[in-house]
Amino acid sequence: MFLQRHGESETNITKTFTCRRLDPSLTERGKRQIKDIVSYYTSLKIGDIITSPSKRAVETAEILGSRLELSPKVNECLLEVNIGDLEGKSERDPVFLRQFYSVVEDWLIGKKNTCFPGGESWSEVEKRLNIIDSLISSTPTIFVGHSTLFALFLGTRGLAFRSVKELFFATRRYCKIFSFQAKMGNRKVGLCERFL
């Protein structure tokens, strides 16, 4: 299993919270980022690509699929976490940023009754994470999606990190790739990350 964040999108540049209502495309830079990453996957015998239905994720999956000769499958369980009232707000505003991190970090430390106002509750996110679990197979698969969902997936399945910022947001770069493998039960999970 490989978790691949989408390439840079238009709202990444404007630093706007984006999940469902806003559905930006990849920038030209974002498309180049993904084209540059394909070489990482070519020797791994990838058998499947499953993507979030968000435009930026689908565009990412299509670039990967065209190079790997695979047709991506869309699955709504990979949508970004619905942050509700925060969507469209500036990530540069420290008040909004604190609200965002507060909910996500509460979930990571087990405070499951916290939710995003107007957005998803932990139980809704957890149902989607369990669907991702069910999609893991012995076939090397790339899951294309979003940083918050992937951080929650990894953080609630035994990957130790201090905060969601440490895993995905500290540098605010896009299309992060690093090689990571962990055992989840009897399965291996790979997270690819490289700063571009």
Q: Is residue 88 part of a domain?
A: yes
Contacts of residue 11, Cβ cutoff 8 Å, sequence gap at least 6: 17, 18, 22, 24
* Residue 133 token pair: 């679990």
Q: How do residues 108-131 score in pLDDT, each as one tens digit?
A: 888 889 999 999 999 999 999 999
Compute the 3-state secondary structure of the chain and give helix, strand, coil in percent, each to the nearest 5. Answer: 40, 15, 40
Total count of domains within the chain: 1
Is the per-residue pLDDT at 19 higher than 70? yes
Q: Is residue 196 part of a domain?
A: no
Share of the chain above pLDDT 70, in %: 80
Q: Is residue 177 part of a domain?
A: yes
Domain of 40?
2-191
Is the per-residue pLDDT at 164 higher than 90? no
Q: Is residue 171 part of a domain?
A: yes
154: confidence class by pLDDT, cuts 50, 70, 90: confident
pLDDT at 136: 87
CATH of the domain at 149: 3.40.50.1240
189: confidence class by pLDDT, cuts 50, 70, 90: low
Q: Which residue has the tokens 């984006």?
A: 18
pLDDT at 170: 41
Q: Is residue 153 part of a domain?
A: yes
pLDDT at 175: 46
Instruction: Tell me which residue of 76, 82, 74 sits closest to 20, measured CA to CA.
Output: 82
pLDDT at 92: 94
Is the per-residue pLDDT at 152 higher than 80? yes
Is the per-residue pLDDT at 3 higher than 60? yes
Q: Is residue 183 part of a domain?
A: yes
pTM attached to this predicted model: 0.86
User: How many CB atoms within 10 Å of residue 171?
Assistant: 9
Q: Is residue 76 part of a domain?
A: yes
Q: How do residues 29-77 score in pLDDT, each as one tens digit?
A: 999 999 998 998 999 899 999 999 999 999 999 999 999 999 999 999 9
Helix, strand, or coil here: 50? strand
